Chain A
Amino acid sequence: MKFSFSEEQTEFRNMLRRFLSDRSPTTEVRRVMETGSGYDPEVWRMMAEELGVTAIHISEAFGGAGFGISELAIAAEEAGRALLPSPFFGSTVMAATAIAEAGTDAQKQALLPGIANGGTIAALAAAEPGIGWNADAFAAAARPDNGSWRLTGRKSYVLDGMAASLVVAAARLPDGKLGLFSLPAESGGLARRPLQSMDPTRRLAQMDFDGAAAELLGGPEAGDPAWARTLDIAAVCLAGEMVGGAERLREDALEYVSMRMQFGRSIASFQVTKHKAADMLLEVELAKAAAYYAAAAADGVDEEVDQPLAALAALAKAAASDTYMQTAIHAVQMHGGIGFTHDNDTQLWFKRAKASEAFLGSAADHRERMLQHWNA
């Protein structure tokens, strides 16, 4: 349903929340974000093997659990709430979706089971420096070479690109269409370097392709629609992740003002604080409604949906971007000076909010995309 979750979905959410509060409290987030890989392999193994988080939306035919985007977005929301540093978004959400949307059955059979069981970490190399995720402007090119393909160009902002052993890359075919390709991360002609990310819980890489050999996923017609749907699903899941983070920030700020005393009274008793808290609740609730609605639309659960997924995904991403950032700004303000310190956890979510605001395109980009697809 678009407006409420099933008992199974709620149970899945509760299980994840328990696991993450147990295994990835902020003390762990702070420890892991200082490590070289940027994630905890043991937590990743448990998420894959015990919780099946890496398999959620992958078809059962290819080693997955066969659930929908709603369940995938629930996992993203809980990961965002806990600020879990892990390759979940880059590998499970982005790369697996691109393979599932573009690949032939044989390619899916070859690539997806490893991602589904967590043994393979994959990354989607699509965005380009300064351009971002606007595929019309992608410059990286693919040329045919003895029945295979060779890729040339620079990709950037590749989420979990250093952790990945498998890369899915987007490049322009000779006829101008977009192709999605797969290749091992350790390939000749592919050089990777980590980017200095402002959000240390979310690792980005740059990838330089210089004639790297790659396999085209699906046929030459598969890339454009597969990219469009992959971007929509990623936007929906990112919206979920952001509303999860925003809600956590809102709750923590409320808890803080409820404890803090000034002028002989709780600062939560000041009307200016109460009204700010009310506005924060309103904004987060509105953004959550958009994220949930868009996820349900991605699953095609209801013919009553009157807008295409592209419009709803863009709407949800734009709403979540603005809300997450605004909530983070309010949360720092409600903490006062302590909120600006490194030791206070608010800054961790603030940075994620800022990075998420730009990731997959700004709120303004998504509002434009929303209207382009809007069914008036």
Chain B
Amino acid sequence: MTDYREDEIRAGVRAWLTENWDPDRGLVEWRNMLIESGWGVPHWPKEWHGRGLPVGMAPVVEEEFDKLGAVGVARMGIRTLAAATILEHGTDLHKQRFLRGILTGEETWCQLFSEPGSGSDLAGAVTRADFQGGRWIINGQKVWNTGAHHADFGLLLARTDWDAVKHRGLSYFLLDMRQPGVEVHQLRQMNGHASFNQVFFTDAVVEPEYRIGGIGEGWKVATTTLMHERRGADGVRRYATGSDRPGRIHEEERAEVATVMAPYVWYPQRTGRADLLIERAKAAGRWDDPAVRQEIAKALTLARTAEWTARRAREAQQTGRPQGPEGSIGKLAASIVARACARAHTMIAGPDAMLTGEDDGTDGVVAEILVSTPAISIAGGTDEIQRNIISERILSMPKEVRHDTDRPFRDVPRNQVG
């Protein structure tokens, strides 16, 4: 095993940055330089824009970037999932064609997994890919696709075999979104934002070389994407802002961040904003109301204990226990926290809880909390799915009876869509 010396790596990246970093360069020009040097994604293989360093060294390199305020490669949004999936399952052609555009930020991606008829049950996808005239012809509908309205490419899960059992009849495609057979409509949510899209396919085309993984092996490839989605959930979904430093490159990065993060502006509110409870209670003159204080204390208690439980799980992992289904406990806790906070915010607001926008006295922040918290118990796996995972994988209780794994998919009872 190669011995990677942290101080040598630090010295290496620092020397390269000292020589090359210049905030007046263009964003894409700079990222192309990062790709050539391998310092943009040091943990990627040498032949694919990296330096082949262990994953653990990536934060070390990142720290050196941060010290100088240097901009890195593009890594917000679904692009990280595309990159991880292509690196693991892609052909050389896929890597050649897509990885550079992902890293420079010139090409953006969306995920095309969920369907109106299959949300929790992703492998029940019925969007079809039929091989006709030497190309894959795509028909069907996807939903909950963040960023699809400006994406250049999509990670598509579609059914290629209706006689195989459910999980074996899917294939995975890298789809060009800029074609006549692909239509994207924004989906407006109950909180007024439109973070997601619906994507309709009418004889959309994928050339055969842009299938990724074997025919019928789509679920296996999708598992990689989903694993990275869960692992990086914080990274993908954390609301980020660009640096406020001067220079052309920072301006260009701020514009990129604004576009990528636009769907996530309300995400802080869906957590319930425990951090606002006390200042809101004081501002609204409710801080001395014993009933309100009880609700605030309950919400703060849940928020804190959820945070400490997550820390306990992380520390247990660091001391060698494998990453387990503990994430489901955290996910479920987040739902309870959000509901308790929404209840407390409602009590604090009193009759103003009926108002929104400029009239609610908080520029609409409280109103946005109240109508955004229902998302937390659905997105990324519903509370019910989390409870199944906890009871089956942590508590070893019997698995749910299924009617979809023992017969050809065409015989599986399913939603009538359309």
Stretch from B11-19, B105-113, B300-308 contacting the other chain: B300-308
Contact of B240 with A by CB under 8 A: no
7 tightest Cβ-Cβ pairs between the two chains A and B: A367-B297, A274-B391, A289-B308, A269-B398, A278-B390, A286-B305, A278-B387
Given contact pairs A275-B384, A275-B387, A370-B297, A282 touches B319 in the complex (Cβ within 8 A):
no
CB distance A274 to B388 under 8 Å? yes
| Cβ-defined contact, B301 with A3, below 8 A | no
The CA of A358 and the CA of B394, in the complex, are separated in Å by 32
For A374, give its contact among B278, B298, B398 (CB under 8 Å).
B278
Main secondary structure of the interface of B (DSSP, over half): helix
What are 20 contact pairs spanning A and B, CB under 8 A? A1-B315, A2-B308, A3-B314, A3-B315, A4-B316, A254-B395, A268-B397, A274-B388, A275-B391, A278-B332, A278-B388, A281-B390, A282-B332, A282-B336, A286-B309, A290-B305, A293-B304, A367-B293, A367-B297, A370-B297
* Cross-interface CB contact of A4 among B290, B300, B306, B319, cutoff 8 Å: B319
Closest to B275 in A: A376
The answer, among A1, A315, A319, A368, for a CB contact under 8 Å with B293, is A368
A198 interface contact, C-beta 8 A = no
Interface residue B407 (Cβ < 8 Å from any Cβ of A): no
Residues of chain B from 299 to 344 with CB closer than 8 A to chain A in the complex: 300-302, 304-306, 308-309, 311-312, 314-316, 319, 329, 332-333, 336
* Residues on A with beta carbons closer than 8 Å to the beta carbon of B304: 290, 293, 315
Q: Which residues of B lie under 8 Å from residue A370 when comparing CB positions? A: 297, 300-301
**Contact at A287–B398, with CB atoms within 8 Å?**
no
Q: Mark A246-268, 1 if CB is under 8 A from B, else 0.
A: 00000000100010000000101
A277 x B395 contact (CB < 8 A): yes
- When distances are taken between beta carbons in the complex, the residues of chain A under 8 Å from B311 are 2-3, 289
With an 8 Å Cβ cutoff, the count of chain A residues facing the other chain is 36
What is the bound-complex CA distance between A268 and B390, given in angstroms?
Answer: 13
Instruction: Report the bound CA distance from A3 to B313 in whole Å.
Output: 8
Q: Chain A interface secondary structure, helix, strand, loop or mixed?
A: helix
Q: Does A60 contact B (CB under 8 A)?
A: no
- A258 and chain B: residue at smallest CB distance: B397
Inter-subunit contact B301/A319 (CB<8 Å): yes
**Contact indicator B316/A277 (Cβ below 8 Å):** no
By a CB distance below 8 angstroms, the chain B residues around A274 are 387-388, 391-392, 395, 397-398
Give, as a whole number of angstroms, the nearest-CB distance from B322 to chain A. 16
A-chain residues with CB within 8 Å of residue B316 when the two chains form the complex: 4
Candidates A278, A286, A289, A318; contact of B297 at CB < 8 Å: A318
Which residues of A are interface residues toward B (Cβ below 8 A)? 1-4, 254, 258, 266, 268-269, 271, 273-275, 277-279, 281-282, 285-290, 292-293, 315, 318-319, 364, 367-368, 370-371, 374, 376
Nearest chain A CB to B151's CB is how many angstroms away? 36
B387 neighbours in A (Cβ, 8 Å):
274-275, 278-279
Interface range on chain B (Cβ under 8 Å from partner): 35 or more
User: Quick check: B390 and A290 within 8 Å, CB to CB?
Assistant: no
Asked if B312 and A289 sit within 8 Å, CB to CB, the answer is: yes
Query: Closest Cβ of chain B: how far from A374's Cβ, in Å?
Result: 7
B376-418 vs A, CB cutoff 8 Å, 1 = contact: the mask equals 0000000010111011101101101100000000000000000
| Minimum CB–CB distance for A168 against chain B, Å | 30
In the assembled complex, which residues on chain A have CB atoms less than 8 Å from the CB atom of B298? 367
Distance between A269 CB and nearest chain B CB, rounded to angstroms: 4
- Inter-chain contact A286/B391, CB cutoff 8 Å: no
Beta-carbon contact of A364 and B294 below 8 Å: yes
Q: Give the shortest distance, in Å, between B91 (CB) and chain A (any CB).
A: 42
Give Cα A376 to B293, complex, Å: 13
A285-B309, A290-B301, A318-B297 known; A376-B388 Cβ under 8 A:
no
Is B296 at the interface (CB under 8 A from chain A)? yes
Partner of B329, one of A273, A285, A318, A374: A285
CB of A324, distance to nearest CB on chain B (Å)? 14
> Which of B11-65 touch A at CB < 8 Å?
none
Q: A273-B397, A282-B332, A371-B293 are in contact. List 6 more A-B contacts (CB 8 A).
A: A274-B391, A289-B305, A315-B297, A315-B304, A368-B293, A371-B297
Is B279 on the interface with A (CB-CB < 8 A)? yes
The smallest C-beta distance from B309 to any residue of chain A, in angstroms, reads 4
* A282, B290: Cα distance in complex, Å: 28
Known contacts A278-B386, A318-B297, A376-B279; A286 and B395 CB within 8 A of each other: no
* Shortest beta-carbon distance from A70 to chain B in Å: 14
**Given the interface contacts A1-B315, A281-B390, A318-B301, does A293 sit within 8 Å of B296 by beta carbon?**
no
Q: Given known contacts A274-B391, A318-B297, is B398 in contact with A286 (CB within 8 Å)?
A: no
- Check if B398 sits within 8 Å of A266, measured CB to CB: yes
Cα A275 to Cα B315 with chains together (Å) = 26
Smallest CB–CB gap between B347 and chain A, Å? Answer: 14
Q: Is the CB of B391 within 8 A of A277?
A: yes
A296 to chain B, nearest CB (A): 10
Q: Which residues of B contact A278 (CB under 8 A)?
A: 332, 386-388, 390-391, 395
Nearest-CB residue, chain B, relative to A318: B301
Compute how far the CA of A287 lies from the CA of B329 in the bound complex, rounded to whole angstroms: 13
CB distance from B338 to the nearest CB of A (A): 14
Question: Contacts A274-B392, A275-B384, A277-B395; is A282 near B329 (CB within 8 Å)?
Answer: yes
* CB within 8 Å of A: which B252-304 residues: 278-279, 290, 293-294, 296-298, 300-302, 304
Which B363-387 residues have C-beta < 8 A from chain A? 384, 386-387
Question: Measured between C-beta atoms, what is the minimum distance from B335 to chain A in Å?
Answer: 10
Q: Shortest distance in angstroms between B138's beta carbon and chain A's nearest beta carbon? A: 35
Min Cβ gap B18→A in Å is 34
Interface core residue of A254, A282, A367 (most chain B CB under 10 Å): A282
Q: Collect the chain A residues with CB atoms within 8 Å of residue B319's CB.
A: 4
CB nearest to A323 among chain B residues: B305
Chain A residues closer than 8 Å to B391, beta-carbon distance: 274-275, 277-278
B397 touches A290 (CB 8 A): no
Q: How far is the CA of A269 from the CA of B397 in the complex (A)?
A: 7
B386 contacts across to A, CB distance below 8 A: 278
The smallest beta-carbon distance between B88 and chain A, in angstroms, is 32
Q: With A3-B311, A278-B387, A318-B297 in contact, do A286 and B278 touch (Cβ < 8 Å)?
A: no
Q: Tell which of B300, B311, B329, B395 has the most Cβ of chain A within 10 Å.
A: B395
Determine the residue in chain B with the shortest Cβ distance to A286: B305
A274–B400 Cα gap in the complex (Å)? 10
